[in-house]
Amino acid sequence: MKKNFSMKSANNAIKIFFEEYSKTSSFYILAAIVLGFLFGAVLIILTTDAVYAGFRNSFWEGIQVSFRTMGKTLESIFVGAFGEPKRIISAFQNGDPQTIRIAINPFFESLTVSTPYIITALALTLAFRSGFLNIGAEGQVFMGGIAAVWVGFSTHSLPSIIHVPLTTFSGMLAGALWGAFPGWLKAKTGAHEVITGIMMNYIAVLFVDYMASGPLRDPAVFTPQTPPISEHAQFFRFFEPPIRFHIGFFIAIAMVPIVNFFLFKTIWGFELRQAGLNPQGAKNAGMNTTKLTIMSLALSGALAGLAGANEIQGISYFMNSLNFTSGYGRNAISLALIGGLQPVGAMIAALFFGFFTSASKFMSLRAGVPHHIIPVMQATIMFFIATPALIRTIFRVKKASSEETLITKVSI
């Protein structure tokens, strides 16, 4: 009984948070990004040995080195995300295709890295709009991946035109089923989707691990991994190596208007949004909330499954649970929030995040700055974005309960 109550109040707090979060303006988001950068800069200065060396010589030199380090870091983030302008120009002047490809690779690599984030951020946006926190997206990505691998390698005789979509759809289907189950549990038993979602994540990761090292293991390879998928199941790549940019990016971008249209132009989207805001009211208005709960989490899961299939068909071609530690599902929670629970916003947030992630690899090489700074900066930005709403939530929850205790105190 008591548990039930705290569950309910936790639920309420989440509700209040979203309500407060919806008041966050885009100005705050921009301000949070700037603040995140500044915080990152301070952190970089604090963790760079050269800065300390400079300060040992003289204060002025210390300051100079600090700024130089920061400048170098920002430059390397830019270069890592977009490529080095000088190099690109000279490569084009040179005309050697291989040189050009290497020069422009950072930009396309950033797009490639962003792709799964875009899809999972959309998945979370759809779930949030329906009133659910689909924390199980991570597991759905894994299930989508393993299903895509299985369909991808089990036949080599299908033509691409059939095999590619078949593989993608099977990934989506697996994700949808994996998402529908917590939805079904929620609708039938009231089990909270966050709890069941977290448990399903463990099951998914361990299941994939088992499949890759057991039934679906490639006996030809020493490490536990599945065989690669058929060439006919792979996504089309636009360039020769080293550029990995593939058609999955455009699939992800196409999903943005599709999700937007679904949410705001169809009656199903209307139902999901209203039921998301007030399930009881929606039920009273004649909507089938059981169906809606399962549908929203299944659709969200389908998108997450698409992200998994995208990674298999576009990048890795096989499943190795050690290399497939995605984090796409987890990061997507904050990306959807940064995007203001709007599909376009989710896309922008995911691109921003993807470019950053992609740049972090270069940063440690070029600027000698540990690449862990990037996740810290990302986390800081999230933190700054969520904080105003969080603070308002805490105060609202506190205010409500303090009013209660006041009254109790009084009448006792």
Partner 1 sequence: MSEIVLELRGITKSFGNFKANDNINITLHKGEILALLGENGAGKTTLMNVLYGLYKPDQGEIYINGQKVNIQSPLDAINAGIGMVHQHFMLIPVFTVTENVMLGNEQVKYLDVLDRADTATRIRKLSDAYKLQINPDALVGDLSVGLQQRIEIIKLLYRDADILIMDEPSAVLTPKEVGELFLTVRSLVEEGKSIIFITHKLREVMEISNRICVIRAGKVVGEALTKDADVNRLAALMVGRPVDMNLTKSPLRAGKKVLEVENVSILGRQQKAEVNRVSFDVREGEIFGIAGVQGNGQTELVRALVGLIHPIEGRIKLLGEDITKASPRRITELGTAHIPEDRQADGLVLQSEVSDNLILNRYYLPPFAKKHLIQTNAINQNAAKLVESYDIRPRNPHVPVAKLSGGNQQKVIIARELSRPIKLVIAAQPTRGLDVGSIEYTQKRLLQLRDEGCAVLLVSTELDEIMQLSDRVGVMYRGSVIAIHNTSEIVKEDVGLLMAGVDLTNPQKVLTSQQLVDKSV
In the complex, which residues of this chain contact partner 1 (CB under 8 A)?
19, 22, 264-271, 273-274, 277-278, 280-288, 403, 406-412
Least Å distance, CB 368 to partner 1, is 49
CB of 388 to partner 1, least distance (A): 17
Distance CA 114, CA 354 (A): 4
Nearer to partner 1 by C-beta: 207 or 270? Answer: 270
Nearer to partner 1, 87 or 273 (CB): 273
Judged by beta carbon, residue 263 or residue 297, the one nearer partner 1 is 263
Q: How far apart are CA 178 and CA 200, in angstroms?
A: 8
DSSP alpha helix (H) spans, 95-192: 97-129, 137-154, 160-189
**Cα(325)–Cα(393) distance, integer angstroms:** 33
Q: Are 310 and 252 in contact (CB under 8 A)?
A: yes
Query: Quick check: helix, strand or coil at residue 22?
Result: coil
C-beta atoms surrounding 250 within 10 Å: 15
Residue 283 Cβ vs partner 1, minimum distance, rounded to whole Å: 7
Residue closer to partner 1 by CB (options 6, 408) is 408
Cβ 9 to partner 1, closest distance in Å?
16
Nearer to partner 1, 43 or 277 (CB): 277
Measured CA to CA, the distance from residue 294 to residue 258 in angstroms comes to 20
CB of 333 to partner 1, least distance (A): 20
Helices 289-311, 328-338: inter-axial angle, 10-degree rounding: 120
- Cα dihedral 363, 368, 374, 377, rounded to 10, equals -130
Q: Nearest distance from residue 281's CB to partner 1, in Å?
A: 5
Shortest distance, CB of residue 343 to partner 1, whole angstroms?
Answer: 16
Gap between the Cα atoms of 397 and 253, Å rounded: 38
For the record, the structure tokens of 305 come out as 């499954």
Burial 143-153 (b: 16+ CB within 10 A, else e): bbbbbbbbbbb
Which is nearer to partner 1, 25 or 284 (by Cβ)? 284
Q: Which is nearer to partner 1, 3 or 409 (CB)?
A: 409
Would you say 20 or 209 has its CB closer to partner 1?
20
Q: Which residues, including other chains, have CB under 8 Å from residue 403's CB and lie 6 or more apart?
A: none
Distance of alpha carbon 145 from alpha carbon 320, whole angstroms: 10
**Shortest approach of partner 1 to residue 20 CB, angstroms?**
11
Q: Is the peptide bond before 228 cis (omega within 30 degrees of 0)?
A: no
